[in-house]
A = this chain, B = another copy of it.
Amino acid sequence: MSLIVQKFGGSSVKDAERLFNVADIVTSVYKEGNDVVVVVSAQGDTTDDLIEKANEINPNASKREMDQMLTAGEQISASLLAMAIEKLGYPVVSLLGWQAGFLTTSAYGNARIRRVNPDRIRKELDKKNIVIVTGFQGVNRYDDMTTLGRGGSDTSAVAIACAMHADRCQIYTDVDGVYTADPRKIPAARKLDVISYDEMLELATLGAQVLHNRSVEMAKKYNLELEVLSSYSRKPGTIVKEENKVEKMLISGVAKDTNVARISVIGVPDKPGLAFKIFSKLSSKGINVDIILQSIGRNGTKDISFTIAKDNLEDAKELLQPYVEAIGANSLSCDDQVAKISIVGAGMESHPGVASDMFEALFSSNINIRMISTSEIKISVLVNIEDADRAVKAVHDKFFD
């Protein structure tokens, strides 16, 4: 008998038919004699619909009230799934985040899990109940509802699996695993059987959007094996596990991220600290900077370019425009028609030729590289957005054909 934690996303529970499909997967694992804990997201577009409803009333509503409202979404899907499982004749109980012992920080809208107290879940499992838990939510020390941010249900599932020392943690989604590139765009993309935590983390941050990166970080910390698989196909998926257990592939995947914008501050006077101040201003507003490029401008000035998430562009412009004027820089230039193409692979550490192979592939396809950034297991380049899909194909062909 094993303890299995399963997580199902919003599209997997979006209507009665999909709910019964999930009920079927869950009960077939339970029937084999396992303890099963199931984490669910809100149905389909419920969360977006609720946000729209709130915006109609008050676009500047407090995050506290927003969270208090949004947690209703998983509450409804969790009960409906429990009802579907009851219908199939199995004992089941649904628990809200606070009932399931999810204690979080107070950062409404983006809370972090401080601790999972699994007493109630364990009690229900001892009663032979299948336990459904609302993902994405918890409760802070004041007994107020919190949410974990977009994709937080993955983290909920991993947190339960770690707290309860689960034997398996399965993340069901609408793709059947992790691919070497987006299979809807690159027909030659291959499904990976295994991938390391670090590679998965790079892919998650790079816009592959299969797993929420906080969930992968947590799984890595607790050395919990994750399985990413499809609730539609019911085929084996991709296992995410410790690097030394994964055969090092030169490249495990090619990812595209279009939520990127480039900002350049032109003509920064060459005084110590001026450049640093730009980045501390951005970080104080929670804006993350990714690729940074500094170049020599004219008359002893510098040009500083960097990328941020496209969502943050307006905030960043507003923040930097007065600063650019104050320090006497020349101008601020922005471009949101860019995309970041990355290759990730634990094996590239020991293969210095990978970067030049990538650049060559892009050059052969006449794609202009605007910025470059590298880490031990990742190479990213910034290209014009209209070149993005061709760039992914060119790089994928180079390494996987």
Report A's interface with B, CB cutoff 8 A: 16, 19-20, 50, 53-54, 56-58, 60-62, 64-66, 68-69, 71-72, 75-76, 78-80, 82-84, 86-87, 93-94, 96, 99, 120, 143-145
Q: A54-B79, A80-B54, A144-B99 are in contact. Are A86 and B72 (CB under 8 A)?
A: no
8 Å CB contact of A68 from B87, B94, B120: B94
Assembly stoichiometry (copies): 2
CB distance from A163 to the nearest CB of B (A): 18
Contact A69 B61, beta carbon cutoff 8 Å: no
8 Å CB contact of A57 from B16, B68, B69: B16
Contact A57 B72, beta carbon cutoff 8 Å: no
Contact B69 A75, beta carbon cutoff 8 Å: yes
CB distance from A367 to the nearest CB of B (A): 47
Residue on B nearest A53 in the bound complex, by CB: B80
Residue on B nearest A143 in the bound complex, by CB: B99
8 Å CB contact of A86 from B53, B61, B120, B145: B61
Residue on B nearest A43 in the bound complex, by CB: B53
Report B-chain residues with C-beta under 8 Å of the C-beta of A87.
57-58, 60-61
12 contacts between A and B (CB under 8 A): A20-B57, A50-B76, A53-B76, A57-B87, A58-B83, A62-B83, A65-B79, A66-B83, A68-B94, A68-B96, A69-B75, A69-B80
Q: A16-B57, A64-B93, A99-B143 are in contact. Are A72 and B76 (CB under 8 A)?
A: yes
CB distance from A48 to the nearest CB of B (A): 14
Complex CA gap A68/B98 in Å reads: 13
CB distance from A228 to the nearest CB of B (A): 27
Report B-chain residues with C-beta under 8 Å of the C-beta of A76.
50, 53, 69, 72
Report B-chain residues with C-beta under 8 Å of the C-beta of A78.
68
Complex CA gap A19/B145 in Å reads: 22
Report B-chain residues with C-beta under 8 Å of the C-beta of A99.
143-144
Contact B58 A84, beta carbon cutoff 8 Å: yes
Complex CA gap A385/B69 in Å reads: 44
Q: A76-B50, A99-B144, A120-B143 are in contact. Are A57 and B83 (CB under 8 A)?
A: yes
Complex CA gap A60/B334 in Å reads: 59
Complex CA gap A120/B143 in Å reads: 10
Complex CA gap A96/B68 in Å reads: 9
Contact A57 B75, beta carbon cutoff 8 Å: no
Contact B83 A54, beta carbon cutoff 8 Å: yes
Report B-chain residues with C-beta under 8 Å of the C-beta of A58.
83-84, 86-87
Q: A53-B76, A58-B83 are in contact. List 17 more A-B contacts (CB 8 A).
A: A20-B57, A54-B79, A54-B80, A57-B80, A57-B83, A60-B86, A61-B87, A64-B93, A65-B82, A65-B83, A66-B83, A68-B94, A68-B96, A69-B83, A72-B75, A75-B75, A96-B145
